[in-house]
Structure 1
Amino acid sequence: MSRKAIIVGGGVGGLAAAVQLQADGWDVEVRERAPALPGTGTSLGLWPGALRALDGLGLGGTARRLARPAAYGTFVRADGGLIGNVDMAALRRRAGDAVHVTARPALLETLAGALPAGVVRYGSAVGDVRELSGYDVVIAADGLRSPARTVLFGDAHRPRYAGVTAWHGTADLDTDGMTETWGHRARFGVLPRAGGRTNWFACAPAQERVPVPGGDLAALQAWFGDWHPGVRRVVDHVAETGGGHVRRNDLYDLAAPLPSYVSGRIALVGDAAHAMTPDLGRGACEALVDGVTLARELTARTRVEDALAAYDRARRRPTQKLARAARMMNRAVHTPRRIAPVRNAAMRFFLAVGRPPA
């Protein structure tokens, strides 16, 4: 008799857990409140650990075909001067792969496409996860503003505004590498995207949930219009196309880290467990690894409680360490002009001697 799992949330972590559990013979049900898979979305970097997780699901080849490997990673100043480079060759030697950049909708479609029809129930919200019955395990993958996290651990672990907002979009411009530009309290990034296009993002301090005076396009031009030509090229392109596809999201992490990713027979994965600012580009990667790790522990162990305890031991410490590092990076990047040279020197040193987590 197969064991039953319900997964609340059809994002990256929830779908990854569903694919692994389904392959291991579990009876799986996924509830997703959105009416369908998203048709649009930004790019995200798949680091080697996330690619290994996809390989374990039998989806690594598909994910790579839909992605573009980043030929380089570069950090520069607003005037175009070099801060430092990510050694992609060293990363490949150490971890066996480079960073691949993919569109979030493509990754979600890949994961959902590996599940039989009907496993994911779209337009199906879940109220209190504690009231779900008839399942051996409940997996809460319900995102940044996770209702499950709140009912299980309380409001102390609510999302906390980082003081920074992000604009992002896609441009019909080509690049084969990742470039991030750091200026006075702001930054601008470009990433490759399949089809010869570019995903871009821009971050700057702003009031939470407050419209920017003059509109988002005017804010982009005011913050970044006099930066180096690589940034101006994108900003000018956005202006020429009317700026109608610019999206804005305020940035958050958790006000306090969770004491556990498990409560009874309920486990949290992804942003529900460890929402972090996107400064390290690791949110989706860690959600993937969460989902696969949890599913494998559930299959490998007879008792669900033992599996959940093993998952918590394996994933809580490294993900919370990454969340702290992302928060520190966010604060360092959005620093006043007088401190920027120290920030840049510290980053240059880290890129020269450090080893980014793969």
Structure 2
Amino acid sequence: MDHPRAQRAVVIGGGIGGLTAAVALHRRGWEVTVLERAAALTPVGAGIGLAPNSQRALDTIGLGDRVRSLAAWQGDGGLRTPGGRWLSRTDSAATAERFGGPLVLLHRAALVELLTSVLPDGAVRTGATATLADAGDDHRRAVVSTASGDLEADLVVAADGINSAVRRTLFPDHPGPQYSGYTTWRVVVPAPDRPFAPHETWGRGSLWGTQPLKDGRTYAYAAAVTPAGGHAPDGERAELLRRFGDWHQPVPDIIAAAEPGGVLRHDVHHMAEPLPAYHRGRVALVGDAAHAMQPTLGQGGNQAIEDAVVLAHHAGGGTDPAAGIGQGLAAYTRERLPRTMAIVRQATRTGRLAMVTNSPAVAARNTLIAALTRLGPGLLLRGFDGIADWQPPRPTYAAGTAPSRAGTRGRQR
């Protein structure tokens, strides 16, 4: 008796969203191929904060507990002024109680390594430039062109980032992401000699964050209002020193410890105008390709992980080639587009608040944050209601495999 062939999914892009989608689809019985144009899976960026919502998503593919074991659990910290005054203090226990778990931080490279480790040998192809040649439909498979030939696919997952070529092919009239008005810097350095509490510091048109990693290093990020496309002629570490060198410790120590060429700089863009859909034909967009957002809520990577497991859920099991994919992808769009665009808009509002440049407005902002903190930490945490408490639709596992205990607890809340 002939057995039905496994359906094939081609994932364009080997970032966190693409790799999570590959794992989730593989768990459901799909044959997966990941095409990454870079020569190696070297993540752009340094640290990633995983909120309880993305941890629950990872629970559904059996990786939640393993991710938590790699993570630097963040203790109490808060929001400061450049002079060092605390505007608000965060209570990690209260956060965990409200949302079913704390925020955890790990290096992006560790998460990428974990995701690739559970994919079949040969599933990830690096140095593979891919172009969508045909989006397909319910009666015709999609086609992805590569230098080594065309690949037919029952499903194409476009995880090719903020400048997604697949998005432009599917929706050529959409304006794409727009510049958010500020740029960011990121760096990983050895832990400073002096202990510090995790913090984010808001200044006038600028901010800085410092967070510990489990391996003993420190991840720091900064942002400042500046014209798009700028680069410091004497290096980005020198630029950080000019902008943040007189801020409270450990900021000067972090800058001093940075390698001259080790500071990443990227302009921030976001999807101000929503796409008409997150799919077309047999192609689904995930992560920044669909809904690029400002980093002010720390949800960009988290939402890409959510996308991946929801997409795998609606795509169904991968062993029925006769199953139509159109209804599943339409359900994916219905579920993901309203949620992610609401978070895009909330991140934009937070970005405006963090990046105010008028001194009286900065003073008013700081006074308001301090007053809300005195009234109770729960008031500030409300901003993450509906985000961090998200639940995945159901386990993405293939039949017969149980989710982790942490994931089960989350769904029973």
| TM-score, L = length of structure 2 | 0.81
Give the distance between the partners of 2:233 and 2:122, measured in 1 at CA.
45
Of 261, 268, 271, the match for 1:244: 261
Identity of matched residues, %: 37
Q: Report deviation, 1:180.
A: 0.3
Correspondence list, 1:209-358, <5 A = 209-238=229-258, 242-299=259-316, 302-336=323-357, 337-348=359-370, 349=372, 352-354=378-380, 355=382, 356=384, 357-358=387-388
Give the distance between the partners of 2:44 and 2:343, measured in 1 at CA.
27
Q: What are the ranges of 5 or more consecutive residues in structure 2 without an aligned counterpart?
A: 136-141, 144-151, 389-413
Q: What are the ranges of 5 or more consecutive residues in structure 1 without an aligned counterpart?
A: none
Q: Kindly indicate whether residue 217 of structure 2 is the aligned counterpart of residue 200 of structure 1.
A: no
1:39–1:186 CA distance, 2 compared to 1 (3 A): closer
Which runs of 4 or more aligned residues in structure 1 lie more than 6 Å from their structure 2 counterparts after TM superposition?
A: none
Instruction: Write the deviation string for residues 128-167 of structure 1: whole angstroms up to 9, x where unpaired.
Output: 3536433222111111100011111125332211121111
Give the distance between the partners of 1:320 and 1:255, measured in 2 at CA.
9
Q: Report deviation, 1:340.
A: 0.6
Of 72, 88, 97, the match for 2:101: 97
Give the distance between the partners of 2:124 and 2:18, measured in 1 at CA.
10
Q: Which one has the largest radius of gyration?
A: 2
Corresponding residue number in structure 2 for 1:166: 184
Give the distance between the partners of 1:127 and 1:26, measured in 2 at CA.
21
Q: Kindly indicate whether residue 9 of structure 2 is the aligned counterpart of residue 10 of structure 1.
A: no
Corresponding residue number in structure 1 for 2:210: 190
Partner secondary structure for residue 307 of structure 2: helix
1:177–1:309 CA distance, 2 compared to 1 (3 A): farther
Of 147, 151, 156, the match for 2:165: 147
Q: Report deviation, 1:213.
A: 4.7
Give the distance between the partners of 2:81 and 2:133, measured in 1 at CA.
47
Q: Which amino acid aligns with 2:224?
A: A
1:65–1:218 CA distance, 2 compared to 1 (3 A): same
Structural RMSD (CA): 2.0
Q: Which amino acid aligns with 2:286?
A: V
Q: Is this contact kept in 2: 1:5–1:27, CA < 8 A?
A: yes
Q: Which amino acid aligns with 1:286?
A: Q
Corresponding residue number in structure 1 for 2:73: 69
Q: Report deviation, 1:226.
A: 1.4
Q: Report deviation, 1:177.
A: 5.1
Q: Is this contact kept in 2: 1:71–1:176, CA < 8 A?
A: no
Q: Which amino acid aligns with 2:65?
A: G
Query: How many residue pairs are counted as aligned between the two chains?
Result: 355
| TM-score, L = length of structure 1 | 0.93
